[in-house]
Homo-oligomer: A and B are copies of this chain.
């Protein structure tokens, strides 16, 4: 007897929408950590986020139907936190700290909904803006990116037959497992999933997280994705992001305040969180400049996350700074999270082994590496460099310089001013790693 479940079959063929974002926890953990501080200290600040496609050669709006995109974004706006999600947030310990989220914050969060969006199609690309209170617009970053990336995957797979899909995912699984087997040879590895925003799809990210959990055991320390951390029973991982110094910098009334902005926000962070959450992200306006003027109290923080310099170069710079301040780096932590893949993880691990603690945040090359998996040799599944960045705060333009000039965002005059204030030269652009 062929046992076809009729209800399942009918459902599969008649549902109107296959939602990409089904939970407000389907986002990065650092978003919630930042949100609590934004809610506490910057509830009145308006921040606009904007989609930026750095891979200009890919005309997203030609691949994805605008109506489908709107339907997904509208659906995400209809999602609310559920009772069990709230209970999990309230009851869980994060990095060993119980009740990291304050009751008043959770009470506010309970009714949270994603705010409106502004979308138009311009010359093969989407212009997508989120205007409004920072407490709300910040929460769009991850779901907006995940939605667009998954819609791209679906578009690329639209004409695939059942069997071709089977082969495609078999290859992707085999490929992923080769990576797991290589990483297994690094005994003290600590690695986490940072791949939500660039994922091929939610279900594929979940498979990848299960693969790391199964294959790496203790070396897999968790996922940045809060929903997956909850569902697969692993640690939720993350600290803070560039939007904090970017907004503070945009709001700074003068050059002197601008220069202090990156440190001021870390002072605030320290008042909210401690321990493993004290990780410095130094590159918003150039790591050189950041370290040159960094206050001594930052030596007490757990570690640094060099996020746009090449990992070995970036790590060495931090180690040198610790040593110059009389700090033994072997107790400190370096978090590498920029465009890592197995080769880079191995090289970086071996380079810093025994000199410093390390952990790796593995993103695009974990959750969206479908190169050479398409049965007909297409490239429609290749990941692109898509980001959703702060572009203004209270109407004032925001800027990011980073250690990689190709990643700089903001209007040219403001970028020029930031480069002068932070004494960060415009180096030769490197290719952006996805």
A residues lining the B interface (CB < 8 Å): 3, 5, 8, 161, 163-164, 166-167, 169-175, 177, 181, 210-211, 214, 375
A163 touches B214 (CB 8 A): yes
Bound complex: CA of A213 vs CA of B210, how far in Å? 32
B8–A163 contact, CB under 8 A?
no
**Do A173 and B177 have beta carbons less than 8 Å apart?**
no
How far is B180's CA from A166's CA once the two chains are assembled, in angstroms?
Answer: 14
Bound-state Cα–Cα, A175 to B163, Å:
15
Q: How far is the CA of A251 from the CA of B293 in the complex (A)?
A: 100
- A375 / chain B contacts, CB cutoff of 8 Å: 177, 181
Chain B residues with Cβ below 8 Å from A5 are 5, 8
Is the CB–CB distance between B163 and A173 below 8 Å? no
User: How far is A292 from B336 in the complex, measured between Cα atoms in Å?
Assistant: 74
Residue of B nearest to A5 (CB): B5
* Contact yes or no, A210 B163, CB < 8 A: yes
Can you give 14 A-B contacts (C-beta < 8 A)? A5-B8, A163-B214, A164-B214, A167-B173, A167-B211, A169-B170, A170-B170, A170-B171, A170-B173, A170-B177, A171-B173, A171-B174, A174-B174, A181-B375
- A213: nearest residue on chain B (CB-CB)? B163
Residues of B within 8 A of A161 (CB): 214
**What 13 new A-B contacts, CB under 8 Å, besides A164-B214, A167-B173, A174-B174?**
A5-B5, A161-B214, A166-B173, A169-B170, A170-B170, A170-B171, A170-B173, A170-B177, A171-B174, A171-B177, A173-B174, A174-B175, A181-B375
A211 contacts B163, C-beta separation under 8 Å: yes
The smallest C-beta distance from A413 to any residue of chain B, in angstroms, reads 52
Query: A170's closest neighbor in chain B, by CB?
Result: B173
Provide the residues of chain B in CB contact with A166, threshold 8 Å: 173
Chain B: minimal CB distance from A30 (Å): 28
- Tell me the bound Cα distance from A174 to B8 in angstroms: 28
CB-CB nearest in chain B for A169: B170
Which residues in B have their C-beta under 8 angstroms from that of A167?
Answer: 173-174, 177, 211
Bound: A210/B375 CA distance, A:
15
User: Which residue of chain B is the closest to A178 with respect to CB atoms?
Assistant: B171
Task: Tell which of B8, B174, B210, B214 touches A170, judged by Cβ atoms closer than 8 Å.
Answer: B174
Nearest-CB distance from A25 to chain B (Å)? 17
Complex: how many Å from CA A217 to CA B170?
21
Docked pose: A167 CA to B169 CA in angstroms: 11
Instruction: Kindly provide the distance from the CB of A376 to the nearest chain B CB, expressed in whole angstroms.
Output: 10
Minimum CB–CB distance from A223 to chain B (whole Å) comes to 16
CB-CB under 8 A from A211, the residues of chain B are 163, 167
For the complex formed, measure the closest distance between the CB of A233 and the CB atoms of chain B, giving whole angstroms. 14
Report the Cα distance A186→B169, complex, angstroms: 26
> Contacts of A163 on B, CB cut-off 8 Å?
210-211, 214
A374 to chain B, nearest CB (A): 11
Return chain B residues, CB-CB under 8 Å to A171.
170, 173-174, 177
Shortest A136–chain B CB gap in Å is: 29
Give chain B residues whose Cβ lies under 8 Å from the Cβ of A177.
Answer: 167, 170-171, 375
- Distance in angstroms from A375 CB to nearest chain B CB is 7
Name the residue in A3, A166, A173, A174 with the highest tally of chain B Cβ atoms < 10 Å from its Cβ. A174
**Which B residues are CB-close (under 8 A) to A214?**
161, 163-164
Q: Would you list the 3 A-B pairs with minimal beta carbon distance, nearest first? A: A170-B173, A174-B174, A170-B170
A170 to B163 CA separation, bound complex (whole angstroms): 13
CA–CA, A316 and B170, complex, Å:
40
| Cβ distance A148 to chain B, nearest Cβ, rounded Å | 27
Q: Which residue of B lies closest to A171 (CB)?
A: B174
How far is B166's CA from A5's CA once the two chains are assembled, in angstroms? 23
